[in-house]
Amino acid sequence: MGLSEKQVQEFVGGLTDPVSGKPFAAAKAVKSVRAEGGRIEVAIELGYPARSQHAAIAAGVETALRELPEVTAAQVSVSSRVVPHTVQGNVKLLPGVKNIVAVSSGKGGVGKSTTAVNLALALASEGARVGILDADIYGPSQPQMLGLHDARPESEDGKTMIPLQAHGLQANSIGFLVDVEQPMVWRGPMATQALRQLLMDTNWDDLDYLVIDMPPGTGDIQLTLAQIVPVTGAVIVTTPQDIALLDARKGLKMFEKVGIPILGIVENMSIHICSNCGHQEHIFGAGGGEKMCADYGVPFLGGLPLDIRIREQTDSGVPTVVADPQGPLADAYRSIARKVAISIAERQRDMRFKFPNIVVQNT
């Protein structure tokens, strides 16, 4: 006599998800079980995008099941489904967007925009529907990074914009609306209003994640954005350098003050790899990002090297994740993206869409 469906459910639920490192039961990922005699069929649904890992997860669970003496055959399917999760305070959710990830840095020049675009592309490569909003009003760089520097968004109603498409991403930026050499000589309230319109007046189409490339710093624009944008969580980008870490800590504290959880810290330019000889050197110091994570109890998402290919590929409008999708740098970005998505998936779900509308009628 074979195992019962309940026994299979409990067994598979006790197995560890190799990507998240937690039991499948903890995320309620075992969606269906079918057991007939010794033949087992299991469907696993992950709460985060991980298309590159589906086959390995399925193979691992099948192997574990086949080692049971009662099992003669096992077939496991793995899929992913992203749902909305809670945001700070009572901020209204954005139509067409399930989760918003703010990518921030305390100071400029640490590779925040490069990290943001590759994070967005990595999430998309793992099967998610992703958009990116360039929130750096004074120095928009995403049009260049996405190869859209000559593009302009269209409008069907004269009021809202259709996001542009690049490498599978939906995108919008103030850089699409102004001349590339025109400086944005605006005070804080003007810049904040322009950014709010870019965010709210774009017809985002059923996004699992909207990645916001935040302006550097912790001034009025950043604080206002953190208060009005329904952010699921923030990613802090820093370098190992002490001065950069000082500013990154301020950015982390800003998000804490407005109730936005920190999904983790990315240490960019963590090591330099010589393009000629391959020699590795910690130009900006070592271990700074990990120490900051330990100090504040937040996840370390990973370190990225100071590699000339990242700069060349991004400057050309074809960022690393799409320029060399099978390379080690793209793997590093995908690993960071999965950790971000897992951190979001483990947060409380937003149930506002679940409540029914009550209509009173005279009958």
Tens digits of residue pLDDT in 272-313: 777 778 777 776 667 778 888 888 889 999 999 888 889 899
The annotation status of 318 as a binding-site residue, yes or no, is: no
User: Any idea where the domains of the chain sit in the sequence?
Assistant: 5-80, 97-345
The annotation status of 107 as a binding-site residue, yes or no, is: yes
Using pLDDT thresholds of 50, 70 and 90, give the confidence band for residue 44: very high
pLDDT digits 0-9 by tens, 341-360: 999 999 887 655 454 555 55
Kindly report the backbone phi and psi dihedral angles of residue 152, in degrees, each rounded to the nearest multiple of 5, phi listed first.
Answer: -135, 135
- Work out the mean pLDDT of the chain and round it to a whole number: 86
Burial, 185: exposed, middle or buried (Cβ in 10 Å; 0-12, 13-18, 19+)? exposed
67: tokens are 């080692």
Say how many Å lie between the first and final Cα of the chain, rounded. 56
Whether 253 shows a pLDDT value over 90: the answer reads: no
In contact, 50 and 126? CB cutoff 8 Å: yes
Whether 97 shows a pLDDT value over 90: the answer reads: yes
Separation in Å, CA 100 to CA 212, 231, 244, 245: 7, 5, 25, 24
- pTM for the model stands at 0.89
Residues 6+ apart with CB under 8 A from 341: 48, 49, 50, 82, 123, 126, 128, 209
In contact, 212 and 102? CB cutoff 8 Å: yes
- In CATH terms, the fold of domain 97-345 is Rossmann fold (3.40.50)
The annotation status of 106 as a binding-site residue, yes or no, is: yes
Q: Within a 10 A sphere around the Cβ of 256, how many other Cβ atoms?
A: 14
The annotation status of 127 as a binding-site residue, yes or no, is: no
- Tell me, what's the pLDDT at 186? 62
Which residue do the tokens 């020699």 mark?
279
The annotation status of 130 as a binding-site residue, yes or no, is: no
- Tell me, what's the pLDDT at 359? 52
User: Looking at the domain that runs over 5-80, which CATH code has it been given?
Assistant: 3.30.300.130
- Cα–Cα dist 105/141, whole Å: 15
The annotation status of 175 as a binding-site residue, yes or no, is: no
- Cα–Cα dist 188/220, whole Å: 6
Whether 263 shows a pLDDT value over 60: the answer reads: yes
Provide the pairing of β-strand 130-134 with 169-173: parallel
pLDDT digits 0-9 by tens, 177-204: 776 666 666 666 777 787 888 888 999 9
The annotation status of 110 as a binding-site residue, yes or no, is: yes
Q: Which residue has the higher pLDDT, 99 or 354?
A: 99
Using pLDDT thresholds of 50, 70 and 90, give the confidence band for residue 51: very high
Among 59-68, 91-100, 224-233, the range scoring the smallest mean pLDDT is 224-233
- Tell me, what's the pLDDT at 355? 47
In contact, 105 and 154? CB cutoff 8 Å: no
